[in-house]
Amino acid sequence: MVGFIGLGIMGRPMAENVRKAGHELTVYDRSQSVLDEMGKLGVRVAANCREVAEKSDVIITMLLNSPHVASALFDENGIVDGIAAGKAVIDMSSISPVASKEFYSKLKEINVDFLDAPVSGGEPGAVEGTIAVMAGGEKPVFDKYYDLLMTMASSVTYVGDAGSGNIAKLANQMMVAVNISAMSEAYVFAKKAGADPKLVFEAIRGGLAGSRVMEQKSPKIFSGNYEPGFRIELHIKDLQNVLDTAHTVNVSVPFAAEAMEILQACKAEGLEKKDHSAIARYFEKINSLKIID
C-alpha cells in the first residue's frame, strides 16, 4: 500500500502514475475537490496525514517547502501519529537539504526509513512519467523503493546520504535559472543586433549551447505563452533554499544570487504565477524590445 500526500500540479499526475502501475493508493490533500476527483478514480481518500500513514506501508510527500513537509510529518494528525516502525517516508518535495537531514534523524529515532527524492522535469514530466528523481538516504532503503520511484520517472539516481537528493535538486535549479537567463539575454542580444531569434535558435540548438532547457523553453518565449510548467514563485523558493544552504556551508554562489534578483524583478512585475521562461520578459523590459514582435 502506497500513501501520497500533496496532489498539486506535480503530485497529482505522479500519484496517478503510481496507481496506473498497479499500486493500491491512499491519498490526502488540503483541496477537497482534488480528493473528490481522485476518489472517482477508485483511489482511497484519507481525512488527514495520520490516516494515510495508518493505511500505507510507504508514504510519499510532494509539498511546497520544508515547513509544509514538517507539518505533514509532525503536526497533530500528522504522519508520525499514524506510522509504525519499519515503514518509510519518501519526500519528493524540493526543500532544504538541512531540513531533509533533520527529518531523516527524527524518523530514524522511531525506526522509520526516510528518503529525500526531489524531482526535475516539471508538469510535462510528471504527466508523462518521465521525471528525473535524485535520491538521498540509506542505500538499502533506496534499493527497496527503486521500482516504486520508477513508476513515476524515466531515471532514478542515488546521490548519497540523507539530504543529498535535495543538494542535487538545488544544483539543478541553479543551472536551470542561469541557463534560462543566459538564453533570454542572448535572444535579446540577437534581436537588437538585427538577427531573427528563431533562426538563431535553429542555428545553435545542435551545438554546444544546445540544451533541454533551450528546447523546452524557447518555444514558450517565442510564442509569449508563459502558462506554467514550473512557476517563477517556485523557482524563487528553490533559489532561496540555495542561498540559505550556501550561507550555511560557506560557499559563494554569485550566479545563483543574480538569477534570484532577476526572478524577484519578475515577481515585482506580477509574473510570479507564470512559467520561469518568463525571465525573458525581464530582459525585454530592460532593453525596451520584444524578442518576437
pLDDT tens sequence across 155-185: 999 999 999 999 999 999 999 999 999 999 9
Residues 92-116 have a mean pLDDT of: 97
Three-state SS string across 53-105, please?
Answer: HHCCCEEEECCCCHHHHHHHHHCCCCHHHHCCCCCEEEECCCCCHHHHHHHHH
71-84 burial by CB neighbour count: b if 16+ within 10 A, else e?
ebbeeeebbbbbbe
Supply the pLDDT for residue 214.
97
Catalytic residue among 101, 108, 139, 169: 169
pLDDT, one tens digit per residue, over 216-227 is 999 999 999 999
Query: For 26-76, what is each residue's pLDDT tens digit?
Result: 999 999 999 999 999 999 999 999 999 999 999 999 999 999 999 999 999
Section 7-36 average pLDDT: 96
Q: Looking at the predicted structure, is the pLDDT value of residue 229 above 90?
A: no
Task: Provide mean pLDDT across the span 257-278.
Answer: 98
pLDDT at 241: 96
DSSP state of 207: S
How many Cβ atoms sit within 10 Å of the Cβ of residue 69? Answer: 26
Average pLDDT on 77-100 reads 97
- Determine the distance from the C-alpha atom of residue 166 to the mean position of all C-alpha atoms in its chain, rounded to a whole number: 10
Distance from C-alpha of 169 to C-alpha of 179, rounded to nearest angstrom? 15
- pLDDT above 90 (res 124): no
pLDDT at 182: 98
Examine the residue annotation and report whether 192 is marked as an active-site residue of this protein.
no
Residues 228-235, mean pLDDT to the nearest whole number? 92
Question: Which residue type sits at 146?
Answer: Y
CA–CA separation, 128 and 17 (whole Å): 8
Position 43 scores a pLDDT of 95
Percent of the chain with pLDDT over 90: 97
Confidence bin at 122 (pLDDT 50/70/90): confident
CA distance 262 to 277: 12
Task: Name the strand (E) or helix (H) holding 148.
Answer: helix 139-150
- The pLDDT value recorded for residue 30 is 95
Residue 148: pLDDT band (50, 70, 90) is very high
